[in-house]
Amino acid sequence: MRLRVTAVATAVTLAVLIALALLTSRMIGPLLVRSADDELAPVLSLAVEAVAAGKSPAGGSPNIHVHVLDTAGEPADGQPAPVLSYADVRVLKASTPVLRLTDTPPTRWQGTVITAPDGSQRLVVVGTGLPGYSAAHGGAIRWLLIAAVIVAAAGALATWFAVSSALRPVQRMRLAATRLGAGKRLPLPTSHDELRALAGALNDLLARRDEAADRLRRFTGDAAHELRSPVASIRVQAEVAVRHPDPELSQEVLTEVVHESERLSALVDGLLTLARSDAGEVPPAEPVDLTAAAQAAAARCPDDGPEVVVHTPTGLCWVWAAHNEVDLVLDNLLRNACRHASSLITVTVIAGPTVTRLAIDDDGSGIPIEHRQRVFDRFYRVQDDRARSSGGTGLGLALVAEVVRRRGGTVRVSESPEGGARFLVSWRTTSVS
Ligand code: ADP
């Protein structure tokens, strides 16, 4: 990175300096010519005035030559002919200045045609040498290029040291990261700059990773523990049945095995659903009629359980979810309510313009306030033995919370008017066009 930054900075500096050097050397020539023109113009107008008045023009300064020529370019003032080609004379007759680069030094000429008092046409020309012109073109560019290379080299050196010192904290962070132990964090640079922000962000990421790893470790341990008990129970029952081949006992054992197998199967299903959800596998959402789903779920409740009363708004009531998610929520909450209610369960659907609510109340013992947050955790139970003996997996409410929250909904538990538990689930309302 240090090399890349230095190379790019040097290349850009060098390119800019070379361009500037070329531009400067190109501008020196025209500047010299312009200053020569400024000197020649007043001399030419004086000479023109003199010739028009029939006088001999006064000679200019020592380095400015004044000549009076006829229209063919031949001297008309008795002086030696100036070094001008036929083409130069033609250009000067059109009052256009001439730059002769082939002369040593190069010369600049200005001229104009006037009528002398005797009626003859005269070409008055003034010229001067440009001694520094060739040197400015050749030498200046050479020196400017040398200067550009030196400045670019100095810039490269400065960039190299600046980048090295800027990257030193990164190097320190890299070394610290290679030696970082479990649960440790990167040292924060003292300066309050982008690197400190990066180290802070990486530490936050490490904290989140550690937390996720802890959660996963706890979950795996809990899952193994939960799976072990029905498997062990099935095994013990089967061993008893094998050792005591009594038909009456076998029937009893088989009933118990079926019960444990159902719990095992529910546990594995729950684990699979949570694993898929954790992996981001979410079924596509669609409008689901909560009224119909609540009535169907109530009808699935066992006849010998508590009475289930359903209050729904008239007409359809659409929420944005998947069908099997809504059924899972209703079945799990109603199954729990059937386990804990004394005699009555009330299912209420409350339609709203943005949010639709489902309340499931029972008249059981309710959930103590200190357990209300944690009942949605995986494998959390309020009363362990009672839940296990009733076939609970400890995953029912965790599944409810997962499928509701991934659709942007909420689920809360409070106290029902009858003194039992009230589960309140909210989904986003949608419409069907
Ligand atoms: P489980 O399947 O073992 O019941 P859940 O996740 O469904 O696990 O429930 C978690 C805990 O919440 C359980 O210990 C259960 O006792 C308690 N619980 C759930 N619903 C009710 C309810 N309606 N009334 C009282 N306690 C409840």
pLDDT, tens digit only, all 433 positions of the chain: 889 999 999 999 999 998 988 888 778 888 889 999 999 999 999 999 998 888 888 766 778 899 999 988 888 888 888 888 999 999 999 999 999 988 888 899 999 999 988 888 999 999 999 887 777 767 777 888 888 899 999 999 999 999 988 888 888 888 888 888 888 888 887 878 888 898 899 999 999 998 888 888 888 888 888 888 889 988 988 888 888 888 888 888 888 889 889 888 988 988 888 888 888 888 899 999 999 999 999 999 999 999 999 999 887 889 999 999 999 999 999 999 999 999 999 999 999 999 999 999 999 999 999 999 999 998 888 875 445 555 678 889 999 999 999 999 999 999 999 999 999 999 999 987 6
User: How far is C-alpha 279 from the geometric centre of its chain's CA atoms?
Assistant: 24
Q: What are 83's strand-pairing partners?
A: none
What is the pLDDT, as a whole number, of residue 390? 59
What is the pLDDT, as a whole number, of residue 31? 87
Alpha-carbon span 366 to 372, nearest angstrom: 10
The response to whether residue 266 sits with its C-beta less than 6 Å from ligand 1 reads no
Residue 379: what residue type? F
Centroid of ligand 1 to alpha carbon of 411 (angstroms): 14
Pocket test for ligand 1, best of 372, 381, 403 (most atoms within 8 A of CB): 381
User: Which of 264, 319, 267, 262 lies closest to 294, judged by CA?
Assistant: 319
H-assigned helices in 1-131: 2-52, 86-93
User: How far is C-alpha 313 from the geometric centre of its chain's CA atoms?
Assistant: 46
Dihedral sign, CA of 270, 273, 278, 282? negative
Residues 6+ apart with CB under 8 A from 121: 70, 71, 113, 114, 115
Centroid of ligand 1 to alpha carbon of 297 (angstroms): 18
The response to whether residue 389 sits with its C-beta less than 6 Å from ligand 1 reads no
Burial of 78 (0-12, 13-18, 19+ CB in 10 A): exposed
What is the pLDDT, as a whole number, of residue 237? 87
Task: Please give the backbone phi and psi of residue 107, each rounded to the nearest 5 degrees, phi first.
Answer: -120, 155
What is the pLDDT, as a whole number, of residue 144? 82
pTM: 0.59
* DSSP-based helix, strand, coil % in the chain, nearest 5: 55, 15, 30
Task: Please give the backbone phi and psi of residue 175, each rounded to the nearest 5 degrees, phi first.
Answer: -65, -40
Pocket test for ligand 1, best of 225, 330, 382 (most atoms within 8 A of CB): 382
Peptide bond into 105 cis (omega under 30): yes
